[in-house]
Amino acid sequence: MEKYVRPEIEVMSGYIPGEQPESGKIIKLNTNENPYRASEKVYEAIRQTAALGLSRYPDPLGKAVRAAVSEKFKIDPNSVLCGNGSDDLLTILTRTFVGSGELLRLPYPTYILYRSLAEIQGAKSEIVPFNTDWTLPDTFFAVAPKLRLVFLPNPNSPSGTIIPKSRILEIAENLPCPLVVDEAYADFAEEHCIDLVEKCDKIIVCRTLSKSYALAGLRFGYLVAAPKLVEQMLKVKDSYNCDSLAIAAAAVAIGDDGWLMGNRTKILATRTRLTEQMRRLGFDVPTSHANFTWNTRKDIALKPVYEFLKNSGILVRYMNYPDWGEGLRISVGTEEQINQCLHFIEQFLLNKFYENRNN
Ligand SMILES: *Cc1c(COP(=O)(O)O)cnc(C)c1O
């Protein structure tokens, strides 16, 4: 039956999301979800909207969200585009800017979905590896034939590291095409690039409510771009890409800065402790600006650590990047979840130590 499928699709392996176990007992630290409950105002907005009935199509523009984002960042509502999760926005961006046979650039290692998007589009992707200290070389903004779009997650995943704003502006100004700054984790960092959109119309900033707003199950994201570009992207998106419940919930969530700041404070405190403790246990951990840490070490293999944790009921993300190496990405959970995780990692290392001594 495969003969009916486009060759571009048949050859691709497809994006594999992090495991989503059914059992509620698992401590889930593998997909950077927020461990806390979203703002109560969000649930109230969903109940109220549902009570009005769902027989009508939703607002195609998500005007309530546009207004909330416009108010929060003091920007033109017409520079905001709503998406069914930021993955939807990344798809819209790829379809708007990159044609078949054209080129999309991304750093490495990074969010693997970007590559799948290029493949679906029949486009090529070019990889520019990060320097070993997670800065970017100048080749990241080199001009290349048919280069149409550049993706840069900032903070990056899996490293949690950040490229400073001044460098982002320099990259965008030198590029011959738009630069998408994927700010899925920016609420956990010290700076963001939304105000750069007005300074440089090649900059497009993507946000999601999945991480910092504890709403991964809702599926909502938005991007900020020059209104002229948003106008074009509106032609590409599905007419009703966001549902009424999600639009109402997102507008209220974005308006609730008090909840966001309170949650951020808790996550950052736990992140600091997780980083310090993992370093104490002998891991190399770059300073994180996101809600996870990237843990590597050269003296032992890390797949067995991942497996030991999994057998102990704790799911973290094991990554092995060709030409780069392996690591464990651990999402910042509650204090108690991180205590459990640290406890079992320490247990693994102790077991290993006694094994070696007895041999
Ligand atoms: C989680 C994540 C997303 C996806 O967000 P959704 O809104 O849940 O689709 C996008 N980019 C990066 C870098 C992410 O880590």
Cβ–ligand 1 contact at 331 (below 6 Å):
no
In the CATH scheme, what is the code of domain 2-36+258-358? 3.90.1150.10
Q: Are 2-36+258-358 and 40-256 equal in CATH topology?
A: no
Cβ–ligand 1 contact at 111 (below 6 Å):
yes
Flag the least confident range among 19-23, 25-29, 121-125, 329-333: 19-23
For 299, the 3-state DSSP assignment is coil
Cβ–ligand 1 contact at 30 (below 6 Å):
no
Q: pLDDT band for position 147 (50/70/90)?
A: very high
DSSP 83-130: ESSHHHHHHHHHHHH--TT-EEEEEES--THHHHHHHHTT-EEEEEEP
Task: Locate the ligand 1 atom nearest the alpha carbon of residue 209 and give its number.
Answer: 7
Residue nearest to atom 15 of ligand 1 (CA): 184
Instruction: Compute the distance between CA of residue 33 and CA of residue 322 in angstroms, rounded to an integer.
Output: 26
- Cα of 60 to ligand 1 centre, how many Å? 22
**pLDDT > 70? residue 23:** no
Q: How is domain 40-256 classified at the CATH fold level?
A: Aspartate Aminotransferase; domain 2 (3.40.640)
pLDDT tens digits for 63-98? 999 999 999 999 999 999 999 999 999 999 999 999
Residue nearest to atom 12 of ligand 1 (CA): 184
Domain ranges of the chain: 2-36+258-358, 40-256
Strand pairing partners for 28? Answer: 315
pLDDT tens digits for 34-53? 999 999 999 999 999 999 99
Task: Locate the ligand 1 atom nearest the alpha carbon of residue 156 and give its number.
Answer: 13
**pLDDT > 80? residue 21:** no
